[in-house]
């Protein structure tokens, strides 16, 4: 494996795992009122395009990073919608 590929995997690992604390925080607190579903929806669209780009280039760091990041971002998006509080102050589960 080349140094460039290793650097790519390192960058992919760090940027991907950066979403994990947010997923855990939302899951534990069941609160995501401060997050924008639209923002995460747009972000997911961008990740899909990065994934397609990586597949076209057959670039494993791009492919793996975007599969995992997309999974985490979709989890955040779903929880943002599910745990959104209704006007009565209760989460809409």
End-to-end CA distance of the chain: 46
pLDDT in tens, 35-88: 888 888 899 999 999 999 999 999 888 998 999 999 999 999 999 888 876 555
| Alpha-carbon radius of gyration of the chain | 16
Residue 13 pLDDT class (50, 70, 90 cuts): confident
Residue 16 pLDDT class (50, 70, 90 cuts): confident
Distance CA 71, CA 18 (A): 13
- Residue 89: its pLDDT value, please? 57
DSSP one-letter code for 78 = H
- Residue 3: its pLDDT value, please? 93
Predicted model pTM = 0.76
Domains detected in the chain = 3-82 (1.20.1280.290)
Strand, helix or coil at 91? strand
Distance CA 53, CA 4 (A): 18
Torsion sign (Cα): 13, 15, 16, 18: positive
- Residue 90: its pLDDT value, please? 60
């Amino acid at each position: 494996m080349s140094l460039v590929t290793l650097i790519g995997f390192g960058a992919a690992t760090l940027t991907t795992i950066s979403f994990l604390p947010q997923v855990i925080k939302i899951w534990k607190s069941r609160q995501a009122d401060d997050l924008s579903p639209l923002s995460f929806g747009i972000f997911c669209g961008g990740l899909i395009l990065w994934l397609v780009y990586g597949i076209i280039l057959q670039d494993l760091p791009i492919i793996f990073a975007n599969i995992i990041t997309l999974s985490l971002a979709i989890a955040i998006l779903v929880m943002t919608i599910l745990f959104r509080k209704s006007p009565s102050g209760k989460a809409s589960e």
